[in-house]
Structure 1
Amino acid sequence: MGAAGLAAILGFLLLARDLVGDEAQEAEAVRELVVRLLGPGPAADFLVSVERALANESGLDTYSLSGGGGVPVLVRGSSGVAAAAGLHRYLRDFCGCHIAWSSSQLHLPSPLPAVPDGLTEATPNRYRYYQNVCTHSYSFVWWDWARWEQEIDWMALNGINLALAWNGQEAIWQRVYLALGLTQSEIDNYFTGPAFLAWGRMGNLHTWDGPLPRSWHLKQLYLQHRILDRMRSFGMTPVLPAFAGHVPKAITRVFPQVNVIQLGNWGHFNCSYSCSFLLAPGDPLFPLIGTLFLRELTKEFGTDHIYGADTFNEMQPPFSDPSYLAAATAAVYEAMVTVDPDAVWLLQGWLFQHQPQFWGPSQIKAVLEAVPRGRLLVLDLFAETQPVYSRTASFHGQPFIWCMLHNFGGNHGLFGALEDVNQGPQAARLFPNSTMVGTGIAPEGIGQNEVVYALMAELGWRKDPVPDLVAWVSSFASRRYGVSQPDAVAAWRLLLRSVYNCSGEACSGHNRSPLVKRPSLQMSTAVWYNRSDVFEAWRLLLRAAPNLTASPAFRYDLLDVTRQAVQELVSSCYEEARTAFLNQDLDLLLRAGGLLTYKLLPSLDELLASNSHFLLGTWLDQAREVAVSESEAQFYEQNSRYQITLWGPEGNILDYANKQLAGLVADYYQPRWCLFLGTLAHSLARGIPFQQHQFEKSVFPLEQAFINNKKRYPIQPQGDTVDLSKKIFLKFHPQPDSL
């Protein structure tokens, strides 16, 4: 595709954004952000303006910095988001500040540093996208407005201008289904519980761990209005949901002649919770339901003309005939443009790489060409590891966003493919006839591996890759802690070359450590890096500790690296125990098993309890706080417990969303490791074979007991992270050394 073709695509996309907007409103939104971030006193040293004319000749977001050195710093942006990104650039590169989920380091120099000769920067991308549909369940599900406000500020500072805004849609669907003749009980039976709504929205699940209380709908409507107001005040484009074709089974009672197809099951769930009903694209109900929903949605929330819908997410279509796939795609799009002639469809491209055996060239082409060029905006969701643009001729001319997925299930575990992330956007931009129009951050769960997200956000404003990642991560460490401490910098360089140096398709981003998996004799302990680098980074951070104990970010990182080291030690103990069992060495089995279950795991739980970000009680308390009654609180807490453990009633997606949290280690992982190793010892002592299926029958009640134990867990940290980390180091480090 030539420059003229790409320009035409961008012209279509511009329909989805109001370029006039309210410059004064966006500038005021950024000024308020500065006050929230820095406080009213320091904020007075920053002047903010939004000027559409500042955008470069291609209409791309641009910011300009000037002043400082005794006069106020002037931050100008072509949009509120651009101005916020410019502010972040100044704080990061001129003041040595750092802003992250776990904590922020905002020690401003006095006077504020001058910007020599001014600085103007334009993004190379139309869009900087954020979120995965799953993020709403794995990370956002229990958030209140205060937490959303923090996140939208983070988004603005990182230059995000396109993001999902999917709260409250079930309340709209309820109105539509009631209008169509479904009963309240039929609707209640259809919706999942809050922690599983992401998969209900994509048609994967229904019913599981529901229903949704009336209060949920009311609170989510209120929250969605505030989210949208704030996003729009910065000039962001919120992506609203649209109808993808999935309907409740009860629709067949109201419309007996409706043409629906029952899809296959998903995620090891049976059809009691899966096997969704999909309307045939030619059925008259398809446009009726699609337009009813979008009209009701946009009447409630307004629109910015970009809508998300996923018809075949991780579900194989009933027919592989390209004509069917084209018709199913066209039906979704036609329902959108009937209500909103300027509609652009945001599609997660995950389906094309998740089931490559089904999605051959003709099937992919049928979907991509069923929507007018420029009206389908594709998220190449896992592009840092398995890009799709390169094998689909740049999505057959449809614009796409190069995304970094990185994390599955919100797992803890140090992981990243920083070199692939660094090089990926430029490679996509330079791909022959590329239709890339943006970069994206699309993790299933946030709040982990913050260095990865810092790099990806920065790349949204860079025309070229970071030239030297070693220098970049060294600066990252210094900003993060507010001082350049040699041992801490050396630790981060080791992490860069090890845990953050994964490359190729073997890097899934999912933590498969034996620690967080239901034990068996077949578990893999393979990693892509040298474990000694993690242990050495741990040692170096502890050596740096006397100079950095006042830094919350340092304490967080020290805990996280110690957690990773303990995870590696658990793998080592597991290997020893497995070898001992296979060699029929009962003494060695008992020693290795005792170290794992009675030393390492209790020490890990105690360490995790020293930081609020690693408390099970925090996660469960967030759920309870949403409730308006004790019965609701118990229901939401059950949702939370299921998600991070069994996921389904029978362990259907067992431990997919595993976490390493204080309380979860002690009351979930440790008991089943005790049972597993005890069963192995019993088998060896009695001379009888170990049977995995029998163990799984025995361990399932333990896992269920955690779901139902009603225990309240602390929501305040206990103990000192540095002291606890040092204690673990001196006990368990494989090569003890002086600190």
Structure 2
Amino acid sequence: MLTKKSTLGFAATALVLLQTALVLVIPTSAASPNPTAPLQGVVQRLLPTSYHNIFDFQIVSDITPPTPENKYDVYRVSNANATNNGTHILIEGTSVAALGAGLKYYLEQATEAELTWTGNRFNELPQTPPLVPDLELDTNQVVTTGHVRGSFVPWRYYTNVVSFGYQFAFWNWKRWERELDWMLLSGINLLPAMVGQEYVARQMYKSLNLTDVEIDDFFTGPAFMPWQRMGNIQGSWNHLLTKTPATSAANELIYKNKWIDSQWELQQMILARMQELDITAILPAFQGFVPRALVSKFPDAVFKTSSAWSAFPEEWTTVTYVSQTDPLFSQLTTQYLQLQQQLNNGFKSNFYLLDLYNELIPDCMTPECLKSTTTSVTNALHSVDKDAVWAMQAWFLLNPVWTPEATEAYFAGMREANGTPFIIDLASDSYPAWEATEGFYGYDFGWSLLSDYGGLQGLFGKIPTLLTNPYEVYKQYPANFKGMGVTTETIHQNDYIYQLVLSLPWRDPNQAINGTADLERFVRRRYGPSKATPLVQDAFNKLSKTVWSADKDQESQSKSFIEKMPDLDMLVAGFMGTESWYDETIVVQAWNQLVQSALQEHNGLIPSAFKFDLVDVTREVLLMTILPALHESLVDGYKAYDVNKIKTYGRQIVSLIRDTDRLLSSNVYFSFSAWIREAKESIDPVRNLSQVTFQAAPSKPTKAGYQQFLESNARDLVTWWGPESNGSLKDYASKQYGGLLSSYYLPRWQLFIKQLEQAADAKRPWTQTSDNFLNLTLEREATWQAEIWGQRGGESTENTNGQESVEIVRELWTRWRDIAIRAATGAKI
């Protein structure tokens, strides 16, 4: 049995482990003498051939900032002449991040195009690259002027730790490469690097004499790892859902280990590219949460269990952790960070992510205890890296147990240890933690946008708040307001809102922004100048005055009725509610304008982003305006015991769901098949599927079993969210995906409608429990959880159903627009 003293030989053990560990060389700055070379790589990956040699990227240090505040990552974009008299663009910057922002500036200003999550128009760029507008070349071909921009904060960051479950869980290198290119162009220079960290943890636990089974008891499945890392949950339950020999608990262990290996290899590629693109990594730290079996290895150490999380079954929560004030915590911090650096071939970052109490309640709340906790954690980090920056998400402070006295003590402990934390105020737009902490007591923090909890997809934004609030907070705390970012939990929604926030650091914080003009320029870049017609611009203006002008107190995007268990009363206000909070008549008008604009264009010439927007706005009208109105009429029929009325509106609801499903299935960003395919193909995110092999034998692991394990993770996350059919997080991360509507949600509604007919015919009350509705639904969903996508008739395994989105929109607009107009006004339909 190991004792605390016996682990002092860890370094030697680690060296042995490294001999068999997967170690990939990460390029260092010394290995890349030209720091601007990666910019050329971005250009060649994204832009047409005629643009590949027109840019001259130069790192310079003497660019005068455009304002005293905008002094970080300054760039200058200028016109110059090449020897062949073709276009030549000089982009100078004080950093690689500045050069990336300068490249984005050129694309936006000169070509009126940009890279977004849901499409770009780079294939439509002029064959002859244009000059930067409003600049002239002098007769000696020497640049005498240029566009100069800079950021008023040193850090522009991206994403949320749970995004590594909701969005990034199954990404391969090709998809990560594109996202990193997008980050560079968006000016992002700080990113949590969370992929594959279980590889480090597994190596450490093995060095402490834990078995594979004991370690496996701790690790969750791939889609749920973010919450395991934060001590909310532990273990994996997918074998309980799939119930096949190939996905048994024993095989699940093997699949998880293969997954961890492949994710670590992917992490090496991500870190290498981040270094090239000047994106600082926030690396994982040891957070204290450990396998249960570790307790027996250290009988003298103080272990505790975290509070139960989100009403999860105790078997899967109340995670064991090492007391932060016990010497073992510091010892394991040292072991983890040193091993991580060794496995990363010496790469390190001074930023370390460490969330002690994400949606957890501390075991003690006295000021003395909290202060000693953070002092100990800070000292542990400093024992390995004297320049360590403790990066944390401030989400935990929203729990009412964090009184001003407790919060102040928590941060005072860091100050006592000379800590330098960086605090990500996770949802400054809706739940600003900076307010109650006096700007985090002088510590560096960043303002963030978050509204898509669990991956909500509804149209949503707070343009009035976004245009003013970040600058107001900056002026209140100019000394320690050090960052801005988007902490979205998923992407592929509300592109304009996120683009707007990411542009704010590059603007003068003392100058008001013309929101209308900014939106018009966005639409021109998104659709192209010729397609950004007055009709289209007016449609976007209507959206900006409704769905994108939510009140500051509006907590989140909405859920649609389709994502909730059917009931007689489905209107819910507040956080993740179903109640509409905007003028639906104006949104329906915007929908009509967008559809009419699309029908005026030849389908093949409609940009991919335009097609996405057509699907997105149509989805919003069908599910947020028409479905609630049909549901209201259906329930009216039940209350009147009018069976014919129930049948009439029941048929319309079923028809609406099927129509919406077909529409969503036509676009890869709304396709359940694409989500499942991404999961199954992630068995080897770096190379290809043929690299993954198993020995064939009954009840042994197989490639098909591995893929079903991953598919089960993907299915579970967006439906049950856990091991139970009716757990507290059921439908929390629900998705309006084509394929999911027809296979998962539609049967609920068909049973609901049938039971209302029966209850009305018998003139008796109906509830979800009296007619066994919930149990019958959950039994069917249990069968669905164990299925493999594509085995049912009509389930395409391609990314889309192969149908043209614009044609489906035209068809559905013709069928449903009159009902939408009446429903939006509140009239009975």
SS in structure 2 at match of 1:438? strand
Aligned-partner residue type, residue 219 of structure 1 = S
Q: What is the aligned-residue identity percentage?
A: 30
For 2:494 and 2:190, the matched residues in 1 are separated by 22
SS in structure 2 at match of 1:692? coil
For 1:101 and 1:214, the matched residues in 2 are separated by 31
For the 8 Å contact 1:384–1:420, the answer to whether it is kept is yes
Of residues 544, 549, 574, the one that matches 1:501 is 549
Alpha-carbon deviation of 1:281? 2.4
* CA offsets 1:627-667 (integer angstroms, 9 cap, x no match): 23111101000000000111112142111111111110110
For the 8 Å contact 1:172–1:297, the answer to whether it is kept is yes
Mean CA deviation greater in 677-686 or 536-545 = 677-686
| 1:583 to 1:396, Cα distance in 2 relative to 1, 3 A | farther
For 1:540 and 1:82, the matched residues in 2 are separated by 38
Instruction: Name 1:662's counterpart in structure 2.
Output: 738
Instruction: Name 1:64's counterpart in structure 2.
Output: 76
Q: Equivalent residues in 2 for 1:159-198 (5 A)?
A: 159-198=187-226
Q: Equivalent residues in 2 for 1:236-385 (5 A)?
A: 236-301=279-344, 302-353=347-398, 355=399, 357-372=400-415, 375-385=420-430
Alpha-carbon deviation of 1:23? 8.9
Alpha-carbon deviation of 1:182? 1.4
* CA offsets 1:312-334 (integer angstroms, 9 cap, x no match): 00011122112222222223222
Does residue 798 of structure 2 align to residue 715 of structure 1?
Answer: yes
SS in structure 1 at match of 2:601? helix
| 1:346 to 1:432, Cα distance in 2 relative to 1, 3 A | closer
For 2:121 and 2:457, the matched residues in 1 are separated by 23
For the 8 Å contact 2:427–2:448, the answer to whether it is kept is yes
Instruction: Name 2:706's counterpart in structure 1.
Output: 632
| 1:214 to 1:183, Cα distance in 2 relative to 1, 3 A | same
For 1:194 and 1:125, the matched residues in 2 are separated by 34
For 2:321 and 2:260, the matched residues in 1 are separated by 25
Does residue 719 of structure 2 align to residue 645 of structure 1?
Answer: yes
Aligned-partner residue type, residue 493 of structure 1 = N
Of residues 100, 106, 122, the one that matches 1:90 is 106
For 2:498 and 2:230, the matched residues in 1 are separated by 25
SS in structure 2 at match of 1:439? strand
SS in structure 2 at match of 1:554? helix
Instruction: Name 1:565's counterpart in structure 2.
Output: 621
With normalisation by structure 2, the TM-score equals: 0.83
| 1:300 to 1:40, Cα distance in 2 relative to 1, 3 A | farther
* CA offsets 1:323-380 (integer angstroms, 9 cap, x no match): 2222222232222111111100101000112x1x201101111122211366110001
Does residue 150 of structure 2 align to residue 122 of structure 1?
Answer: yes
Mean CA deviation greater in 443-452 or 57-66 = 57-66
Alpha-carbon deviation of 1:61? 0.8
SS in structure 1 at match of 2:413? coil
* CA offsets 1:565-611 (integer angstroms, 9 cap, x no match): 111211211222233333433332222222112x1011011111221
Mean CA deviation greater in 579-588 or 191-200 = 579-588
SS in structure 2 at match of 1:731? helix
SS in structure 2 at match of 1:132? coil
SS in structure 2 at match of 1:512? coil
For 1:165 and 1:55, the matched residues in 2 are separated by 33
Aligned-partner residue type, residue 591 of structure 1 = T
Instruction: Name 1:51's counterpart in structure 2.
Output: 60
Instruction: Name 2:559's counterpart in structure 1.
Output: 512
Mean CA deviation greater in 92-101 or 102-111 = 102-111
For 1:708 and 1:488, the matched residues in 2 are separated by 45
For the 8 Å contact 1:615–1:715, the answer to whether it is kept is no
Instruction: Name 1:594's counterpart in structure 2.
Output: 651
For 2:351 and 2:494, the matched residues in 1 are separated by 30
For the 8 Å contact 1:143–1:622, the answer to whether it is kept is yes
Mean CA deviation greater in 307-316 or 416-425 = 416-425
For the 8 Å contact 2:588–2:820, the answer to whether it is kept is no
SS in structure 1 at match of 2:36? helix
Over aligned residues, Cα RMSD in angstroms? 2.1
With normalisation by structure 1, the TM-score equals: 0.93
Mean CA deviation greater in 451-460 or 49-58 = 49-58
| 1:736 to 1:243, Cα distance in 2 relative to 1, 3 A | closer
Instruction: Name 1:112's counterpart in structure 2.
Output: 130
For the 8 Å contact 1:352–1:364, the answer to whether it is kept is yes
| 1:725 to 1:201, Cα distance in 2 relative to 1, 3 A | same
Mean CA deviation greater in 443-452 or 196-205 = 443-452
For the 8 Å contact 1:25–1:233, the answer to whether it is kept is no
Instruction: Name 1:469's counterpart in structure 2.
Output: 515
For the 8 Å contact 1:385–1:503, the answer to whether it is kept is no
Of residues 802, 806, 816, the one that matches 1:732 is 816
- Report how many aligned residue pairs link the two structures: 715
Instruction: Name 2:673's counterpart in structure 1.
Output: 617
- Structure with higher Rg: it is 2
Q: Equivalent residues in 2 for 1:375-524 (5 A)?
A: 375-432=420-477, 435-464=480-509, 467-483=513-529, 484-509=532-557, 511-524=558-571
Alpha-carbon deviation of 1:20? 9.7
For 2:811 and 2:566, the matched residues in 1 are separated by 27
| 1:55 to 1:637, Cα distance in 2 relative to 1, 3 A | farther
For 2:51 and 2:226, the matched residues in 1 are separated by 40
Aligned-partner residue type, residue 702 of structure 1 = R
For 1:287 and 1:98, the matched residues in 2 are separated by 46
* CA offsets 1:665-713 (integer angstroms, 9 cap, x no match): 1101111111122222222222332232332222111222221221323
Instruction: Name 2:762's counterpart in structure 1.
Output: 686
For 1:453 and 1:635, the matched residues in 2 are separated by 33
